[in-house]
DNA sequence: ATTCGCATTCTTGTATACAAGGTTGTTGAC
DNA sequence: GTCAACAACCTTGTATACAAGAATGCGAAT
């Protein structure tokens, strides 16, 4: 067995929360989930514990665990922190990055570009993630890298939504190129600022998107 | 019951790891721990899962869980990230902080001072933590606050060691005052820089301490 | 004597049984 | 008709039983 069943289950439940099958405040019933995944309550409980730790669900003692979708404020806060973490990674990377890694970034960017032209948002999304992952790695700080990846994963579904906005992809590509340029020049301040803006704008776009949905619904 | 037994056990095990009872690479036997805490394996397993999530122990499938003390490099990396997170909190706080909170910081500082003069390192330690906690809160970003508290908690035992260095306490106090001053002036850059330096120096001091211990042992 | 193979044993991972607290619905009194 | 108290049920939390993989030790063969 490559991994425990509870890990697999945790990922599956995560997916179900992300895609909206389990909405906000939905109570995750242990026996129901155990039934769904054809296992006993034990691995389900372990999975739920993991999700509670990562903040995706809330654990109310003797009551159960409930889906805790972040509200617009929490989301903005998370994007704000993400922007700062990535900006830090970029600042560190500006001093430490190798020519080879610059090449990797350019390659990833290239793949992003082809995805944009093929209108393959799914592919763009993956390659975009890859681009950022390289940046984290090149910060030269393994702990920072892990923290960035963790938060990236957490924000994944919301970033996804936001990318569908018209014209955002092309703009995003330009920003990537600016980031690479700053890194190439070893300009820590510019790299940092470019990355911060690039990430922060996603939070803002998301916010606008939410607001427009809200007014449309009202 | 105010909290689950697994939570209590997790904290106890954490404590035992922090105070060195369980050294690096020590295997945490489930039945042994269950015996020690007079419970069944179930809550112990849940506690170990939590510790694995927080990175304090490593979980090797079908092998067991092992204490994973961070090495000097990992520790430096963590302090580096902590410095950046706190610097960010300070930058945000410089714009958002209230007069009342400034007063709270000054009070906390005052209590630190009395602790220093009473040579009560334990008290100094607690009050120092409080000072930083106020800073996190005043960032106005709840998510950032939580992340800071999490990392603060993780680095707690190492910070503690470092504070014992001669003259560090007085120096640390001066830095606190500079931080408050910068915040009072609403100077985001200076507040941010002061906090970054204040935290980063802890990592460096710790590094020196480790190095001296190493050469002494050799 | 050393090493390979097999079997025993020990530990983790999962399922089930039991305990304890929480929820809900019904019944009776006002 | 409404509200409160009680009881039955349901869910979580914990303990124990069972299954399966990994470590270990013994023995045989080279």
Output the domain CATH number for residue A135. Answer: 1.20.120.530
Interface test with A, best of B81, B137, B139 (most A CBs within 10 A): B81
Q: Return the number of CB contacts < 8 Å for A and B.
A: 60
What's the mean pLDDT in B28-34? Answer: 96
Residue of B1, B61, B141 with shortest CB distance to A3: B61
Identify the pLDDT of residue A211. Answer: 66
Which residues neighbour B146 within 8 Å (Cβ) at sequence distance 6 or greater? none
pLDDT in tens, A163-218: 677 778 888 999 999 999 999 999 999 999 999 999 998 877 777 777 666 555 44
Identify the pLDDT of residue A186. Answer: 96
Put simply, the answer to whether A142 touches B61 (Cβ < 8 Å) is no
**How far is A128 from A149, CA to CA, in rounded Å?**
13
Which residues neighbour A69 within 8 Å (Cβ) at sequence distance 6 or greater? A17, A23, A24
> Backbone phi, then psi, for A108, in 5-degree steps?
-60, -40
Identify the pLDDT of residue B218. Answer: 43
Q: Are residues A187 and A211 in the same domain?
A: yes
**How far is B148 from B81, CA to CA, in rounded Å?**
10
Identify the pLDDT of residue A165. Answer: 72
Q: Are residues A105 and A198 in the same domain?
A: yes
pLDDT in tens, B53-78: 999 999 999 999 999 999 889 999 99
Q: Are residues A40 and A116 in the same domain?
A: no
Which carries the bigger pLDDT value, residue A20 or residue B206? A20
pLDDT in tens, B147-159: 999 999 999 888 8
Q: Is the CB of A4 under 7 A from strand C?
A: yes
Q: Are residues A43 and A79 in the same domain?
A: no
DSSP category for residue A6? H
Which carries the bigger pLDDT value, residue A150 or residue B218? A150
* β-strand pairing of A27-28 with A64-67: antiparallel
Q: Classify the phi-psi angles of A38: left when phi > 0, otherwise alpha if psi is within -120 to 50, otherwise beta.
A: left
Identify the pLDDT of residue B157. Answer: 84
**How far is A102 from A96, CA to CA, in rounded Å?**
11
Q: Are residues A57 and A78 in the same domain?
A: no
Put simply, the answer to whether A77 touches B141 (Cβ < 8 Å) is yes
Q: Are residues A145 and A187 in the same domain?
A: yes
Q: Are residues A86 and A55 in the same domain?
A: no
Q: Are residues B87 and B55 in the same domain?
A: no
Q: Which nucleotide is nearest to A41 (CA to C1')?
A: C15
Q: Are residues A89 and A160 in the same domain?
A: yes
- Tell me the C-alpha to C-alpha distance, in Å, between residue A14 and each of A30, A155, B84: 15, 12, 30
What is the tally of structural domains in chain A? 2
Residues of B in contact with A50 (CB under 8 A): 49, 53
Q: Are A95 and A186 in contact (CB under 8 A)?
A: yes
Q: Are residues A152 and A138 in the same domain?
A: yes
Q: Are residues A56 and A133 in the same domain?
A: no
Q: Is the CB of B5 under 7 A from strand C?
A: no
Q: Is the CB of B41 under 7 A from strand C?
A: yes
Q: What share of chain B is helix, strand, coil (3-state, %, to 5)?
A: 75, 5, 20
**How far is B47 from B69, CA to CA, in rounded Å?**
17
Q: What value, to the nearest 5°, has the Cα angle with vertex A21 and ends A17 and A27?
A: 70
DSSP symbols for B20-53: TSS-TT-EE-HHHHHHHHTS-HHHHHHHHHHHHH
Share of chain B above pLDDT 90, in %: 73
Identify the pLDDT of residue B1. Answer: 46
Identify the pLDDT of residue A1. Answer: 46
**Which among A67, A96, A114 is the end of a domain?**
A67
**Which among B50, B67, B84 is the end of a domain?**
B67
**Which among A67, A94, A120 is the end of a domain?**
A67
Q: Are residues B127 and B206 in the same domain?
A: yes
**CA of B27 vs C1' of C3, distance in Å?**
29
Give the domain range for residue B58: 5-67
Q: Which nucleotide is nearest to A44 (CA to C1')?
A: C14
Q: A-contacting residues of B 108-147, CB under 8 Å?
A: 141-144, 147
**Chain C footprint positions (protein CB, under 7 Å):** 11-17, 21-23
Output the domain CATH number for residue B54. Answer: 1.10.10.10
Pick from A92, A100, A160, A95: nearest CA to A129: A160
pLDDT of residue B211 exceeding 80, the answer is: no
């Amino acid at each position: 067995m490559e991994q425990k069943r509870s890990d697999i289950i945790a990922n599956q439940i995560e997916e179900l929360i992300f895609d909206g099958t389990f909405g906000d405040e939905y109570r995750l019933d242990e026996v129901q989930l155990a039934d769904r995944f054809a296992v006993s309550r034990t691995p389900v409980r372990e999975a739920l514990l993991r999700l509670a730790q990562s903040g995706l669900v809330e654990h109310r003692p003797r009551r159960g665990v409930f889906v805790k979708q972040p509200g617009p404020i929490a989301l903005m806060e998370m994007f704000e922190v993400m922007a700062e973490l990535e900006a830090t990674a970029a600042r560190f990377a500006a001093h430490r990055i190798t020519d080879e890694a610059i090449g990797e970034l350019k390659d990833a960017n290239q793949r992003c570009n082809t995805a944009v032209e093929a209108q393959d948002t799914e592919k763009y999304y993956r390659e975009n993630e890859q681009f950022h992952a390289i940046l984290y790695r090149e910060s030269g700080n393994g702990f920072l890298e892990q923290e960035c990846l963790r938060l990236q994963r957490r924000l994944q579904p919301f970033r996804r939504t936001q990318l569908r906005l018209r014209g955002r992809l092309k703009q995003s590509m330009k920003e990537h190129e600016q980031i690479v340029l700053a890194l190439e020049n070893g300009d820590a301040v510019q790299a940092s600022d470019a990355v911060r803006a690039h990430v922060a704008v996603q939070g803002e776009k998301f916010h606008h998107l939410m607001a427009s949905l809200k007014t449309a619904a009202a």
